Amino acid sequence: MSTAVAVAAALLAAMSFGVGSVIQQEAAQKAPARESLRLRLVLDLGRRPAWLAGMILVVSSYALLGLALAFGPLVLVQPLAATDLVFALPLLAWRRRTGLTRRELAGIACTAGGVALFLTALPPAPEGAAVPAARDWLPVILAIGGAVVLLAESGRRSRASRRTALYAIGAALLLALLDSLTKSTAGRFRTDGLGALAHWEPYAVVLVGLMGLVLAQSAYQAGSLAIRLPLIDTLEPMTAVLIGVAVFGEKLASSPWALTVQALGAATAVAGIVLLDRSPLARR
């Protein structure tokens, strides 16, 4: 039952995030360039109805992701959540009264098939604690924090396309950390109820979420969605899976055959995500 809830919630989160991201992209590119990497950018965008509609979908996706992570491991939930454009592109094609191209259909098939192949070799989730100790988090938080600072500073001095890529990589790292902290927070609420508010994880979720929001919107603003989306859609789930292994003690395949299957599935899914992210539907 827990796995069924995790899978359903993760797929719904993917659909909400995919549509919301495209709507936000269209609105964010109209904001002044001087607001990049500033909280003022979010405040400005908050006055735009289209951006708010996209934000409602994105917030809903994170609520659904939190539900999925409360019932399932990161190595299960994150690959499913990365299928956002598998759901978004058909909906966008229907809304814009156009059909899907062969390239887009191939991207959907590769993404869905690759994720399915990756999950077939996934071992059962461990019975360990769902809430890691603070000392287990420290190396990950320091590594991601340092990387994000370097990426943001490098992006300030770069041309538009490179700046978009650097901001997107930083946003992907922060979003992966946010996903992982969300799982830890969900575990706190499941075991402690409102007593979870006495721990540090819920407040870290708010702080990291705000930082990720500012950096992601700066990536939207800096350049093309064709640069930003492939980076975030591939790096976020991959980093979250690695955090799941390192911090939560989750397991990937152990035998050479199963590892080969998982590697093939991951590579196929990444190829599919790149094809979908480069669709004109996602960049209009």
For 193, other C-beta atoms within 10 Å of its C-beta total 9
Residue 128: the pLDDT is: 47
| DSSP code for 255 | S
Cα 255 from chain centroid (whole Å):
28
- Asked whether 241 and 118 are in contact (CB, 8 A), the reply is no
Residue 27: the pLDDT is: 65
Residue 234: the pLDDT is: 86
Residue 206: the pLDDT is: 92
| DSSP code for 132 | -
Q: Is 94 exposed, middle or buried (0-12, 13-18, 19+ CB in 10 A)?
A: exposed
pLDDT along the chain (284 residues), means of 10: 82 85 67 59 68 83 86 88 82 77 90 90 65 89 94 82 87 93 88 87 92 83 71 88 89 83 90 83 63
Joined tokens for residue 201: 């994880």
Cα 40 from chain centroid (whole Å):
23
Q: How far is CA 48 from CA 33, 42, 51, 213, 261, in A?
A: 16, 10, 5, 16, 45
Q: Write down the H helix ranges in 29-101.
A: 39-45, 49-71, 74-81, 84-95
Residues in the chain: 284
For 44, other C-beta atoms within 10 Å of its C-beta total 18
- Asked whether 183 and 201 are in contact (CB, 8 A), the reply is no
